[in-house]
Structure formats: C-alpha cells, structure tokens
Amino acid sequence: MVSAAVLFLLTVGSVCGEAAAERKLVYVTVLFRHGDRSPVKAYPTDPHQESDWPQGFGQLSQTGMRQHFGLGQFLRNRYKGFLNESYERHEISVRSTDYDRTLMSAEANLAGLYPPTGQQVFEENLQWQPIPVHTVPQSEEMLLSFPLGDCPRYKQLMNETEHTAEFINVTNTYQDIVELVRNKTGLNKTNVESVWSVYDTLFCESRHNMSAPDWVTPDVMEKLRVLKDFSFQIMFGVYKQQEKSRLQGGILLGEIVKNLSKMSVPDPKQRLKMMMLSAHDTTVAALLASLDVFNGIQPPYASCQIFELYRDNGSVSVSMFYRNDSTVEPYPLQLPGCSLDCPLEDFVRITKLSISEDREKECQVHSEGRDKEVIISLAVSGSLLFFLIVVLLGVLCWQKEPISKRGYQHVANQEVVEES
C-alpha cells in the first residue's frame, strides 16, 4: 500500500516537473531609471551651485554608476541560462534617452551584465567591453521621455486636475510649505508642482553630504517629499488617469505590447531576447500608471520595471516585476483584471484601454468656446467670399459693356506690341 502511494507521488511529481519544464522564457523587456546624479539645477539662494559638482548639473555620479553596475549583475544572475554567457549582439537591443546620465547608466549596467571573457577581452586587466547603446535627439524622443508637451488635450487635463477637490485640498494643506519655499529660495513663483524641483535639489545635496540651509528641517523635507510624490500622481493619475495614460505612458506601453505580441510567435530566425530601455523616473511612473499599477511614489534611482514573456504548451503569458529595492527580490505586479501570469491575449485586451490608436486626434481640444470661434470664423470667411464673388461678377459685367459706353476714346494707328 505504501509502495503504491510512493509510486503515485513520484508519478505526479514527474508529470508536474515536466509541465514546469515546458514553461519557457522567450523574451524580456526591462525599463529602468538612471542612477544617482547631481541636481538638475540649483535654486537662486542655494549655497551649492554647479561648480560644486564634479561634472556639473544632471550628471551621473559614481554612486549611480555602482547602482547600475549592480543592476546589470542582478540581470546577469536572473537570466543565467537564458542570455548567452558572453555578449551576443543579436540577443539584446539597448535604447536610451539622449541624456548623459541615462546613456552612462545603460553603459554601467551593460558592464555588469556582460563582463568580457575569452576572446572578448581586448585589454588585459580591464573587465569591460564596449556595447552599443542607441538613442535619438531629445527633440525627436517620443517613446521614453514623459510627459510630452505636444498635446493640447493633456494640458487641458492638467488644468482640470488643478481644479479638482483633491488638488485644492493638498494645496491648502501645504500652503505654508509652498510659501516657505518661495521666501527662502528666491524663486519668483512656486506652487505644488514647482516645489518638486527644490526637493530634488535638496535631496541630491543631502545624498552627497552637502550641508543644508537652516530652514531645511527634517519636517520640511518630509512635507516636500509628500508634495513631490503628489506631483507624480498629478502628471499621470489623480484625475482621468486612463486618458492621461493614452496621451503619455500609453505610447511606451503600446510599443512594449507590440513587441511582446511579435515575440510570442515562434520564429527560428528571431534571435532577440532582451530589450533594455534606459530613461527617467517620469518614464517609469508613466508606464506603471498606464498599467494601473503605479504606487504613487517617485521611482527611485536604478528602479527597474520588468516584463517577461513565457511560452507554455502553445499558450503565451506575461509576468511583470518591479525592482525598487536592491536588498530584496523584485515585487511581482498583477495587471488589474488578470492573473500574475497573465495570458498574452488578456494582457493585450486589458492594456488596449490605455493605448491610443490615434494620439494626434485624441490630443486635439474640442471645447464649446473653440467651436463657437470656428463657427464665427467660417461665417466671416463665407461673407467675405460672397462679397468677392459679387464684386467679381460686377467687374465682368462692366467689361462686357460697349466701348462707347465706357468713356474711352479710340486711338488710331496705335502700335500693337506682342508678348514675347
């Protein structure tokens, strides 16, 4: 009896093992924020100006380089057996925004992901090899830099957000901090959103052990942090989140979904295994918001959003993970309305609501006032056109009258000059 039970368990275990073995990872997309950096700018009364930073404003620090080197090592360990042990150019494609800090973050990450071995070592005692990172000019960046400022409807939504009860309540609650920042920083204009840049500067300085002015107490920093996170919620959520996503992060989500769908079809010629995207906190937040999984907190340095595509007995599924803490394993993310291992067809169906099919059209603003302006403009144009037609008809009729009635005298022997 015992032997039969043992045999049954072994059989079940063998079958389950085979089923698990059939679930195969086929494609990965990773999007990450750059690493630790210097402030993007200083406020007017800031005692620390650009000359106090080794490479100036907005530049990746050595701490940031180490963060991404560590992230690259994490990716190497996570995808061991999936990615080739040594760099294989057909397996990975890397794209970055056109900023020094994102380009350098990608390069530091790749140094951890692909340390050279064997023939790839080109200089003894140098554990590094050049790997291409692609980009486009910032003026042409439409995939990895948010919020995009080319959309009137999004600007209208932001204006409407600032008139919501939640926004007004937060503004009133923290009005004393906004006033404090205005008085202490020398900035002419401050509001809930602009306070974010002041917090960022102070945060960067504190991370690099630079002294803060007396007015920057722990309580002030905490309130500024709250307002900073609220700014992210304003940009990508709080009010009409899905419509904002269709006009912003949904652009990137659409590209990711398109690639996942493409890679789900078996193709012996397809060798690409990983798409790596190096960008910013707003990029990560915009994408998470478009997936409706954003926690409302600014993505930290080197935070990473992962999409894994699996094939299992003909079915295909997507698993998502968010790594915002290097001391723990990435957190599984569940797309609302789907399972953790979300079937691709369901993933495509659910995310479609956040992806615009015609963003240019959706970005247009159709307000009642503008409609009236269009109607008035058309009426004026129509009246002018009617007037011109009447004048033209009058001229034509006048030209058809007999010469004797026009008041002209016929000049005899006038020379005729032909057009050449």
Q: What is the pLDDT of residues 209-225, one digit of tens each?
A: 999 999 999 999 999 99
- Planar angle of CA 101, 155, 244, nearest 5 degrees: 75
Residue 359 has pLDDT above 60, yes or no: yes
Give the pLDDT mean for 145-150.
93
User: Is-catalytic flag, 134?
Assistant: no
Confidence tier at 194 by pLDDT (50, 70, 90): confident
Q: Is pLDDT of 14 > 90?
A: no
3 state DSSP class of 90: coil
Q: What is the pTM of this model?
A: 0.82
From the list 243, 309, 255, the residue with the least C-alpha distance to 283 is: 255
pLDDT of residue 122: 95
Q: Which of 265, 271, 260 is nearest to 352 (CA)?
A: 260
Q: Would the pLDDT of 289 be above 50?
A: yes
Q: At what angle do helices 281-290 and 249-263 cross, to 10 degrees?
A: 70
Q: One of 34, 48, 68, 280 is an active-site residue; which one?
A: 34
What are the residue ranges of helices labelled H in 210-357?
218-236, 241-247, 249-263, 281-290, 344-351
Which of 266-270, 366-370, 415-419 ranks highest by mean pLDDT?
266-270
Q: What percent of the chain has pLDDT over 90?
A: 76
Q: Is 316 helix (H, G, I), strand (E, B) or coil?
A: strand
Q: How far apart are CA 408 and CA 116, in angstroms?
A: 96
Q: How confident is the model at residue 192 (pLDDT cuts 50, 70, 90)?
A: confident
Average pLDDT over residues 10-30: 67
Check: CB of residue 320 under 8 Å from CB of residue 286: no
CA distance 128 to 96: 19
Task: Collect all residues with Cβ–Cβ distance below 8 Å to 298 and sequence separation of at least 6.
Answer: 228, 229, 232, 281, 285
Give the pLDDT score at 144: 98
Unique residue bearing structure tokens 């920093």: 221
Does 5 score more than 50 pLDDT?
Answer: no
To 5 degrees, how large is the angle CA 168–CA 169–CA 170?
90
Give the DSSP per-residue string, 104-124: HHHHHHHHHH----GGG--ST
Mean pLDDT, residues 108-117: 97
pLDDT at 404: 40
Pick from 27, 48, 26: which is nearest to 38 by CA? 48
Q: What is the mean pLDDT of residues 141-148?
A: 96
Phi, psi of 187 (to 5 degrees): -75, 135
Q: Is the dihedral of CA 252, 106, 35, 185 positive or negative?
A: negative
Q: Around Cβ 14, how many Cβ atoms within 10 Å? A: 10
What is the reported pLDDT for 236?
Answer: 93
Q: Categorize the per-residue pLDDT at 392 as very low, low, confident or very high, splitting at 50, 70 and 90.
A: low
pLDDT for the residue numbered 7: 45
Specify the amino acid at residue 257.
V
Active site residue 281: yes
Instruction: Measure the CA–CA gap between 44 and 181, rounded to whole angstroms.
Output: 11
Give the fold, CATH level 3, of 21-148+241-360. Answer: Rossmann fold (3.40.50)
pLDDT-derived band of residue 276, with 50, 70 and 90 as boundaries? very high
Residue of 98, 229, 281, 292 marked catalytic: 281
